[in-house]
Structure 1
Amino acid sequence: MNARSSIDKPARERVIDAANRLFYREGIRAVSVDAVAADAGVTKKTLYYHFKSKDDLVAEYLTSRDQPNLKLFETWFDSAQGDAADKVEAIFVELARSARHPKWRGCGFLRTAAELANLPGHPAMKIGSAHKKAFEGWLAARFLQDGIDSPEAIARQVVLLMDGAFSTMLVHRDADYAEEAGRAAKSIVRASFGAQPSR
């Protein structure tokens, strides 16, 4: 995006874009409202016109990431070849590829939850929880379509592997963990087909 098109964006949208860049890169506690306003090219007064508080801005930051992230997982799943087990593994393979990018900083939802662990009632915590539940629900629905036994339980197991991979990669800076988690997820899903032959 060039500078001109950025300036032409509404102020509220520019603030959300700036929050996305800064909060994801540096963390929510490390970034001040002044820094977000400066990055967005607006005054602090303008920022507070659109957002009552930094807490509201943090919540909007996660809200803006919700649907794009879910859509990305869906695209990775749908574009992969094979059965549901292969498609689940593909999500982890693509996640590993993303994690190898130098600008990757982990899962924005998990990092925010870690920073707000002592504030369970924070609106951002609720948004993060809803996002994770939405992914789990979507996965369970796909598994149900494919005739997988206990689709909700299998979806939950895959989510545990995924969030474990996110956390472990962040600690070790090693994307191989996502690929290993993908192989484990594939085995779990494949086994859930029971006696059905691999398709």
Structure 2
Amino acid sequence: MAATTTTDVKPSARDRILDTAFRLFYAHGIRAVGVDLIIGESGVAKATFYKHFPSKDDLVVAYLDRVDEVWSGQLHASAAAAGPEAADQLVGLFDALVMACRRDGYRGCGFINAAAESEPGGRIHDRTVAHKTSVRSWVAGLAREAGARDPDALARALTLLLDGGLASGSLDASPDAPAMAKTAARALVDQAVGVSAPRP
């Protein structure tokens, strides 16, 4: 009997639903995409869909969990690639913004988009707030490690800059916006940690 290879393994019904939702929600928005369309394009029965996701909100939260996994992974990888110094990592994480804005089909931050379509205090809005809080907390940790005088203030400024870059990349598609955001991040970090002259 031949050994099973990874190409022989088909995605589970749940993964097919989530993959389809990820593609459609990001491209068209949460409200514009109905459950019936996701069921049809994922090739599952309606009963199978509701077994895994009893409501559309359950699916949206699972979609946002995946967005979180992907985007946070990209941020952490870009920071790590900048080297061992926390100050450099605070600037290096903006390389994730550069890569995101260059991607075909880029439509901004999935979390900001979802928040714009959701009611404050609801599950979807709360999941968005939790993601943004988690990213800011991670950045604040790097800021403390870098020796910033006010790590929380620096983290707030950098994440606002990051969110602004994500929005700009979608609104005006300016190719220099991510690079300008990274340059501004370097100036903020250098000022916060007491570097007298800007570094390249």
TM-score (norm 1): 0.88
Number of the residue aligned with 2:3: none
What is the CA-CA distance between 1:145 and the residue it aligns to?
1.4
Tell me the residue number matched to 1:127: 127
User: Corresponding residue for 2:184?
Assistant: 184
Task: Show the 5 A alignment for 1:19-58.
Answer: 19-58=21-60
Most deviating of 189-198 and 72-81: 189-198
| Contact 1:83/1:198, CA 8 A, preserved across alignment | no
Structure 2 Cα separation of the partners of residues 64 and 157 of structure 1: 26
TM-superposed CA distance for 1:91, in Å, is 2.5
Question: What displacement does 1:104 show?
Answer: 1.5
Identical positions, percent: 36
What is the Cα deviation at residue 132 of structure 1?
0.7
Any stretches of 5+ residues in structure 2 without a counterpart? 1-5
CA distance in 2, matches of 1:183, 1:197: 13
User: How far is the alpha carbon of 1:177 from its aligned partner?
Assistant: 1.4
SS in 2 for 1:49: helix
Which residue is 1:159 aligned to? Answer: 159
Contact 1:33/1:44 (<8 A) preserved: no
Q: Compute the displacement of 1:3 (Å).
A: 8.9
Alignment partner, residue 97 of structure 2: 95
Give unpaired runs (5+ residues) of structure 1.
none
**1:114 paired residue among 99, 113, 116:** 116
In the TM superposition, residue 109 of structure 1 has moved relative to its aligned partner by: 0.5
Structure 1 residue 13, shift from structure 2 partner: 1.9
Q: CA deviation at 1:82?
A: 7.6
Q: Which moved more, 1:78-87 or 1:155-164?
A: 78-87
> How far 1:4 moved relative to its partner?
6.1
Mapped partners of 1:115, 1:55: distance in 2: 12
Name 2:136's counterpart in structure 1.
Answer: 136
Task: Figure out how many residues of one structure are paired with residues of the other and give that number.
Answer: 194
- The answer for the alignment partner of 1:77 in structure 2 is 79
Rounded Cα–Cα distance in structure 1 between residues aligned with 2:87 and 2:193: 9
Check whether the contact 2:82–2:88 (CA below 8 A) recurs between aligned residues: yes
**1:96–1:176 Cα contact (<8 Å) kept:** no
1:59 is aligned, of 31, 38, 61, to: 61
2:70 to 68, 71, 79: 68
**Aligned-residue offset at 1:9:** 2.2
DSSP 3-state at the match of 1:192: helix
CA RMSD, 1 decimal = 2.3
- C-alpha deviation, 1:45, in angstroms: 2.1
Q: CA deviation at 1:95?
A: 1.4
Letter in 2 for 1:101: R
| CA distance in 2: counterparts of 1:197 and 1:165, whole angstroms | 25
* CA drift at 1:35: 1.2
